[in-house]
Structure 1
Amino acid sequence: MERKIVKNYIYSVIYQMLIVIMPLIVTPYTTRVIGINALTINTNTTNLVQWFVLFGIMGINIYGNREIARVRDDSTKLSKTFFEIFAMQVFSMLIASLAFFFYIYIIGDQYQTILLIQSISLLSVAFDITWFFYGVEDFKSASIRNMIVKIIGVVLIFMLVKGPNDLFIFVLINTCTGVLGQIIMWLQLKQYIHFVPISLKGIIQHIKPNIALFIPQIAISVYSILDITMLKILGPVYVETNLYEQTQKFVKMFLFFITSIGTVMLPRVSNVHSKGDRVAVNNYLNKTLRLALYLSIPMIFGISAMIQNFVDWFLPESYQIVGLLIQCTSPIILFISLSNVFGTQFLVPTGNTKPYTLSVVVGAIVNFLINWTLIPTYGVFGAIIGSVVAELSVTLVQYFYIKNRIDFDFKVKELFIVCIASLIMFIPTHYIGVFLGANFFVNLLQISVGILTYFLILFLFRAPLLKELPLNLFKRK
């Protein structure tokens, strides 16, 4: 792949790795200092605010990314498109903010003070222009900004949060660091755009296609935000919302190697598709599909092999069930990886919004029905079953739509090699934990042995991906 894509991918991965590392540092501290009850309040109030953010931001994060990528080669069109989309974003978030304050002061909520602090995140989202930097493929600026903000937030938490009564401070730190991040981002914007006058007509033209991408965002939220909401309402135990959130965080943090590919490739595919280069689109998708399968399948086996050892020393005793919950949830790594390739890297950038919308609506309906049926009896396990089946249904709908539109070169034999290598890797990884116990260094040993075993088996079976890497490196050199 081109050097710029590789660099953008590295920046995205580094930032995502930081997101993975931060909970490893912060979670043990906050669970012990603040406590599960306070963290559950934070989870539920954050979840509520996210509903208003969802309807305020609509589909702008994806739509803005795609539209900026399409016009980035023309400075005037780039500036005009940016100001039009940003004006639409501010107006939309203003309406969402008014609705939020109406809820707080007219309808009322027992955690009104916490929600008022959480409202700062609405301001942060209103001025969030990360989509612009992704669209021009400047992942360096976005990643560095996000890393600075995350580090500052962690430092402040350790400095200022000392007990359950500091929940207000904890929430304030999380919301205010987001605003700081937007300030940094705006300072970097002037090198790309210049002011151009825009019209109301120019703003309005973006509403319809943005709403078209907003509909699948609503559907996606049914099996993300709504899971926690339904657990809170239907679940047999109140604190299960926090257990579910911790499980989702742990599982999805392993996806950063794969989802970073989609983040990087969306603007690139949008750009080449706007030029009518179908061959390039096909080549990009085949490369990222192969990489997604080579990464996601061993991740599932690896998580199953070592996660309980990790949870035993990393989380308090009240969270030990999270290990089992993560094992049950891990199949979504494969499903999300595939739908990331099919949906984010093909359907969205090529303008196939209807099938993309259909896929996530089907997933949302499946998720809602399973949650409604299983959560009252099985609690968090019912929510997990709903999430896994929903992600599978999304992937299947997308695959059946694009299977005749993309010339896939991934063979069954290659998939068999990946599965065998993952299964063999599972054995030493699991038994190292069984015999050596649960601690940080054992987990490092498990990860190291697992990676070495996996790639050794791939090498012995002469896996096609490994054959391509030396050639690509040689060609670049």
Structure 2
Amino acid sequence: MDRKILKNYFYNILYQLFVVITPFITVPYITRALGGEALGTSDWTAGIVQWFVLFGILGVNIYGNKKIAEVRDDKKLMSKTFFEIFVMQFICMLISGIAYLLFIQTINPDIRLYAFLQSISLISVALDVTWFFYGVEDFKKASIRNMIIKVLGIILIFTFVKSQNDLGLFILINAGSGVLGQAIMWIQLRHYISIEKISASGVIQHLKPNILLFIPQIATSIYTMLDVSMLGYLYPNVAHVSYYQQAQRFIKMFLFFITSIGAVMLPRIANMNTRGEEAKAEITRFLQTTLRMALYLAIPMIVGIITLIPSFIAWFLDQEYQVVTPLIIFTTPIILFISLSNVYGTQYMLPTGMTKEYTTSVVAGACTNAALNFVLMPKYGAFGAIAASVTAEFIVTFIQWLHIRNKIDLKIKFKNIYKYIISSLVMGTIVYLVCKWLEPSFLSNIIAITSGCGVYFILLTVLKDDFHMNLLNKVLKRRGTV
């Protein structure tokens, strides 16, 4: 795999890992300092503003990334394209911001001030140009900037937020830090672009393709949020909503290790695709590598979660939440399906212009999910919701495979993955035995995870898996040059 891709993947993973770890630092303090009612107000108003962000930003994060990647070899054209897309983004967010300010006039006056403070997030999103840095494959600047801003936000929260009377300040810190982060990005932007004249028609031309990319995003967002709403409505035990959310959050917490590959590969494939047929073989080679990487990570992840989760849930959650254990186990196939669809959809279909086919797959998944929810939720509750979600993700992946199977060779070959299966099963046995011998605790789980990962990597080294050995050699070579 290209060293620059590995470097970008590292920085993206580093940031995503930081995002996962941050709540473990802040949540215990914030819940005590603000209390449930104040924190609930913050969460509710933040949730409302996110809907206006969603409809304001449309599909810019993907579209801007893709377009900049396509023209980045021509600085003048790249600069012109950047300003056209940014102006479109800013106008759309301005319209969404006005709609939000009108909307908050209708809500409870007691929380209107807090809702108004949340509008600062709209300014942050309107100025967000992270997609540009992803398009030029500079993940380092975006990731480091995001981490610095988050650290600054954490410091400010611990310093100034002391009680529920500081709720407004808490919201201001969270929203305002985003604006500061975007200001830093604009300072860094001057190294890449020049000032270019743009026209209204130049801005408008980006609107339609941007909206086309927005459709699958809104479909995904709606059916993800719809699960929770339908479960609370269709099943009498409302606790199942919490069980379902805990299971989904746990599984998707690990998925960023795999989905981060898509964020890194999208601009590279988009840029290569501009060279036409001559780049097809190179694109195929890159995606065969990322497919191997996805399976290299997904297979042991599934086995590891299945064998570790009973011990983890035993100490991490209350006795009431032990039902989450089988829910998480039943959810694990999602890891494989999302890993494959990340390669098929995010890494190939989107950067090569198969937006319509990609949208079809996502909408089909959303419809499947909603239909199965109606059938399964009333009788099986959270288990029915999980079954519907797993089936929907399979449908998305299968439809994407149908669309690309005759365009690119991305077959899963058993000879390339049997070593991952063997090594994962041995790893899973070790994890199971460690969890059985030791009392469930944070320390015992760390020992189990460390032992399992060690066994997996050692076995692949002994078996001389070509992908693993190539990755290992690149890492060792990189360290040797430092």
Question: What residue in structure 2 maps to residue 148 of structure 1?
Answer: 148
What one-letter code is carried by the residue in structure 2 that aligns with 1:439? Answer: S
Gaps of 5+ in 2: none
Alpha-carbon distance between aligned partners in 2 of 1:378 and 1:47, rounded to the nearest angstrom: 28
Q: How does 1:45-124 map to 2 (within 5 A)?
A: 45-106=45-106, 112-124=112-124
Q: What whole-Å deviation, never above 9, does each CA across 1:234-260 have from its counterpart, x for those lacking one?
A: 564667656554443332221222112
Alpha-carbon distance between aligned partners in 2 of 1:58 and 1:432, rounded to the nearest angstrom: 47
Shift of 1:450: 0.9
CA contact (8 A) 2:255 2:335 kept: yes
Shift of 1:366: 1.4
Q: Is residue 167 of structure 2 the alignment partner of residue 179 of structure 1?
A: no
Alignment CA distance shift 1:226-1:100 (3 Å): farther
Q: How does 1:230-379 map to 2 (within 5 A)?
A: 230-231=230-231, 236=236, 244-276=244-276, 277-315=279-317, 321-376=323-378, 378-379=380-381
Alpha-carbon distance between aligned partners in 2 of 1:218 and 1:367, rounded to the nearest angstrom: 14
Shift of 1:428: 1.8
Alpha-carbon distance between aligned partners in 2 of 1:433 and 1:105, rounded to the nearest angstrom: 54
What SS class does the counterpart of residue 191 from structure 1 fall into? coil
Question: What residue in structure 1 maps to residue 218 of structure 2?
Answer: 218
Alpha-carbon distance between aligned partners in 1 of 2:16 and 2:446, rounded to the nearest angstrom: 19
Structure 1 stretch displaced more, 429-438 or 200-209 = 429-438
Shift of 1:106: 3.5
Structure 1 stretch displaced more, 26-35 or 43-52 = 26-35
Question: What residue in structure 1 maps to residue 14 of structure 2?
Answer: 14
Structure 1 stretch displaced more, 364-373 or 354-363 = 364-373
Question: What residue in structure 2 maps to residue 128 of structure 1?
Answer: 128
Shift of 1:195: 1.3
CA contact (8 A) 1:79 1:196 kept: yes
Alignment CA distance shift 1:32-1:235 (3 Å): farther
Number of equivalenced pairs:
477
Alpha-carbon distance between aligned partners in 2 of 1:181 and 1:93, rounded to the nearest angstrom: 18
Alignment CA distance shift 1:71-1:59 (3 Å): same
Question: What residue in structure 2 maps to residue 456 of structure 1?
Answer: 458
What one-letter code is carried by the residue in structure 2 that aligns with 1:83? Answer: F
Shift of 1:41: 5.2
Q: What whole-Å deviation, never above 9, does each CA across 1:377-430 have from its counterpart, x for those lacking one?
A: 554444333322221111111111112211236412333332232222112212
Alpha-carbon distance between aligned partners in 2 of 1:59 and 1:403, rounded to the nearest angstrom: 26
Report percent identity of matched pairs: 52
Shift of 1:356: 0.5
CA contact (8 A) 1:375 1:382 kept: yes
Alignment CA distance shift 1:461-1:284 (3 Å): same
Q: What whole-Å deviation, never above 9, does each CA across 1:287-313 have from its counterpart, x for those lacking one?
A: 000000010111112122223433444
Question: What residue in structure 2 maps to residue 415 of structure 1?
Answer: 417
CA contact (8 A) 2:427 2:452 kept: yes
Structure 1 stretch displaced more, 214-223 or 225-234 = 225-234
What one-letter code is carried by the residue in structure 1 that aligns with 2:395? Answer: S
CA contact (8 A) 1:40 1:241 kept: no
Shift of 1:87: 0.7
TM-score, normalising length from structure 1? 0.90
Alpha-carbon distance between aligned partners in 2 of 1:195 and 1:402, rounded to the nearest angstrom: 39
Q: What whole-Å deviation, never above 9, does each CA across 1:259-301 have from its counterpart, x for those lacking one?
A: 1211111000000111121111101100000000010111112
Alignment CA distance shift 1:234-1:48 (3 Å): farther
What SS class does the counterpart of residue 186 from structure 1 fall into? helix
What SS class does the counterpart of residue 188 from structure 1 fall into? helix
Alpha-carbon distance between aligned partners in 1 of 2:6 and 2:346, rounded to the nearest angstrom: 18
Shift of 1:438: 2.7
Alignment CA distance shift 1:115-1:419 (3 Å): farther
CA contact (8 A) 1:51 1:225 kept: no
Alignment CA distance shift 1:422-1:37 (3 Å): farther
What one-letter code is carried by the residue in structure 1 that aligns with 2:281? Answer: V
What one-letter code is carried by the residue in structure 2 that aligns with 1:456? Answer: I
What SS class does the counterpart of residue 195 from structure 1 fall into? coil
CA contact (8 A) 1:37 1:239 kept: no
Alignment CA distance shift 1:153-1:346 (3 Å): same
Alpha-carbon distance between aligned partners in 2 of 1:413 and 1:354, rounded to the nearest angstrom: 33
Gaps of 5+ in 1: none
CA contact (8 A) 2:3 2:474 kept: no
Q: What whole-Å deviation, never above 9, does each CA across 1:99-124 have from its counterpart, x for those lacking one?
A: 22333223769854443333322221
Question: What residue in structure 1 maps to residue 207 of structure 2?
Answer: 207
Structure 1 stretch displaced more, 317-326 or 260-269 = 317-326
What SS class does the counterpart of residue 456 from structure 1 fall into? helix
Alignment CA distance shift 1:438-1:181 (3 Å): farther
What one-letter code is carried by the residue in structure 2 that aligns with 1:205? Answer: Q
CA contact (8 A) 1:28 1:314 kept: no
Alpha-carbon distance between aligned partners in 2 of 1:135 and 1:392, rounded to the nearest angstrom: 29
CA contact (8 A) 1:47 1:229 kept: no
Alpha-carbon distance between aligned partners in 1 of 2:28 and 2:310, rounded to the nearest angstrom: 16
Q: How does 1:26-41 map to 2 (within 5 A)?
A: 26-30=26-30
Structure 1 stretch displaced more, 262-271 or 456-465 = 456-465
Alpha-carbon distance between aligned partners in 2 of 1:370 and 1:44, rounded to the nearest angstrom: 28
Shift of 1:347: 0.2
Shift of 1:464: 3.5
What SS class does the counterpart of residue 193 from structure 1 fall into? coil
Alignment CA distance shift 1:282-1:430 (3 Å): same
Question: What residue in structure 2 maps to residue 401 of structure 1?
Answer: 403
CA contact (8 A) 2:118 2:171 kept: yes
Alignment CA distance shift 1:235-1:55 (3 Å): farther
What one-letter code is carried by the residue in structure 2 that aligns with 1:102? Answer: L
Alpha-carbon distance between aligned partners in 2 of 1:385 and 1:261, rounded to the nearest angstrom: 26
CA contact (8 A) 2:76 2:196 kept: yes
What one-letter code is carried by the residue in structure 1 that aligns with 2:156? Answer: L
What one-letter code is carried by the residue in structure 2 that aligns with 1:330? Answer: T
Structure 1 stretch displaced more, 157-166 or 72-81 = 157-166
What SS class does the counterpart of residue 137 from structure 2 fall into? coil
What one-letter code is carried by the residue in structure 1 that aligns with 2:186? Answer: W
Alignment CA distance shift 1:242-1:248 (3 Å): same
